[in-house]
Amino acid sequence: MGMAMNEIKIEKYSSYKDSGVEWLGEIPSSWTTKRIKHLFNEINERSFDGSEDLLSVSQYTGVTNKSEKLEDGGMLTNANTLEGYKKVWEGDLVSNIMLAWNGSLGFSPFNGITSPAYSIYRLKTKDVNRYFHYLLRTELYKSEFKRNSSGVIESRLRLYTDDFFIIESILPPKEEQTAIAAFLDRKTALIDQAVDIKQKQIELLKERRQILIHKAVTRGLKAGAKLKDSGVEWIGQIPESWEVKKLKYCLINKLKYGANESGVEYNANLPRYVRITDFGQDGKLSEDNKLSLSWSQGEDYLLKDGDILFARSGATVGKTYQFRMSMSVEDNYCFAGYLIKAESNHELILSDFLYLYTNSNLFNNWKEGIFNKATIENIGADKYSQLMVIIPPLTEQKEILEKFKIDDEKITNAISLKQQEIEKLKEYKATLINSAVTGKIKINNYDE
């Protein structure tokens, strides 16, 4: 999908003029600017009984129908709760006043109701909604919304109607608004399609990784090795020379819960306090909001290179992390109470192999089995200690890990490449929208 700006017939307008608005700069000579208050009215129509569909707005998807996302029986509503919510008609502009600066505003494709914390605006002129849909969500306008929002810190910024209304809108002639909107609808649909295809390719690569992990931990590298029944129903067959043991017999020490402390201000001379939220996607610990523990609180919870940490409850329950000293710059680390530490016995199972095993679908199936039996989603040390672990001979573990590392690197690189391509497409889309709505490129009705 190699669309680039130069593949679109780039045509400029014959002449430009100063818009008279510093942050807008030059616009085509035939265009004008108008304050938003001359284009939109604020609408404050209230729901009588709250029976309409509940709508929400986000910077990613624009206005969506919230009730579609709720499971059956998970409706947020009974007739009383949404009474007095604001009515939205198809084509109205819905703005989340607290997040408008982040692009959380858009035109609604539906009739419905929305929270009283949102502002509803309706075009009062014969201009084209769809043009403003693109214009008002550009980085250019988001920065202006931010500048006009009240509040000191980002999470408290609010774009009130009076401040929204004084902002100047670029205003092309109506037929050009129509042409720009139609052009962008067409082009952005193609870009979104290309992004979807790449995202599906990433999903396939991730599935391929899962297949490789499964093969590594259940069959190894020896093609045609004789198999035996593992004696564990959910594991099935394994090579004859392999073993299966409960996790508690694969460790040097008993499984250990982390420190139940809130942590102290970060100090490089104290052990760094590692929490689930510190583990980043990139194999590093986050450098944000670092905490420490005092030596007296932390010395019983120190981590060694290669320790495996299991999450025991919360959103990440059942997720595993392998701690590496190279994850950050500190000399000492200790771990928090939502984590359980497993120290593998390296004469029996390598930390890397145990970690690979806990990233397999076998481990995921085991977790699901536990969740099906329990009403609360948490897995304590008592349950983890009973996890059946597949153990090949040590020499085989090393060979399996070396081979997997090579295969995994290829997959990681391929995924990273696709992600970069997606980022480029998204940047291209933003540039294209910005160039079209501000008149940097001329859109003709006939443009394909």
Task: Return the DSSP state at 378.
Answer: -
Say how far apart CA 65 and CA 54 lie, in whole Å.
6
Say how far apart CA 9 and CA 305 lie, in whole Å.
57
- The residue among 149, 167, 25, 164 whose CA lies nearest residue 99 is 149
State the pTM of this model. Answer: 0.82
Amino acid letter, residue 375: T
Q: Give the pLDDT of residue 258.
A: 96
**What are the structure tokens assigned to 4, written together?**
């680039």
Say how far apart CA 113 and CA 47 lie, in whole Å.
7
Task: Return the DSSP state at 111.
Answer: -
Amino acid letter, residue 179: A
Contact 42, 161 (CB under 8 A): yes
Q: Give the pLDDT of residue 131.
A: 97
Q: Give the pLDDT of residue 412.
A: 96
Amino acid letter, residue 325: M
Sign of the Cα pseudo-torsion (426, 428, 432, 435, in order) = positive
Q: Please state the length of the chain.
A: 448
Q: At what angle do helices 174-218 and 361-373 cross, to 10 degrees?
A: 100
DSSP-derived 3-state class of residue 64: strand
Q: Give the pLDDT of residue 73.
A: 39
Task: Return the DSSP state at 103.
Answer: T
Say how far apart CA 239 and CA 296 lie, in whole Å.
47
Amino acid letter, residue 115: S
Say how far apart CA 448 and CA 445 lie, in whole Å.
9
Q: String of b and e for 250-274 (b: at least 16 CB within 10 Å)?
A: bbeeebbbbbebebeeeeeebbbbb
Say how far apart CA 310 and CA 367 lie, in whole Å.
12
Say how far apart CA 242 and CA 231 lie, in whole Å.
12
User: Can you point out the beta strands (E) in 19-167?
Assistant: 26-28, 32-35, 40-43, 55-58, 62-65, 86-88, 93-96, 105-107, 112-114, 118-123
- The residue among 22, 135, 168 whose CA lies nearest residue 430 is 135
Say how far apart CA 377 and CA 387 lie, in whole Å.
16
Mean pLDDT per 10-residue segment, the chain (448 residues) = 55 94 96 98 89 87 70 43 87 94 93 92 96 96 94 84 97 96 96 97 98 96 91 95 97 96 94 93 89 95 97 87 95 95 97 98 92 77 96 98 97 97 97 96 69
Q: Give the pLDDT of residue 69.
A: 44
Q: Give the pLDDT of residue 447.
A: 46
Give all domains of the chain, ordered by start, each with its CATH number.
1-31+173-205+404-448 (no CATH), 32-133+148-171 (3.90.220.20), 221-391 (3.90.220.20)
**What are the structure tokens assigned to 61, written together?**
């998807």
Q: Give the pLDDT of residue 9.
A: 64
The β-bridge relationship of strands 291-292 and 264-265 is antiparallel
Residue with tokens 């009076």: 162
The β-bridge relationship of strands 26-28 and 16-18 is antiparallel
Q: Give the pLDDT of residue 50.
A: 75
Q: At what angle do helices 139-148 and 394-437 cross, to 10 degrees?
A: 80
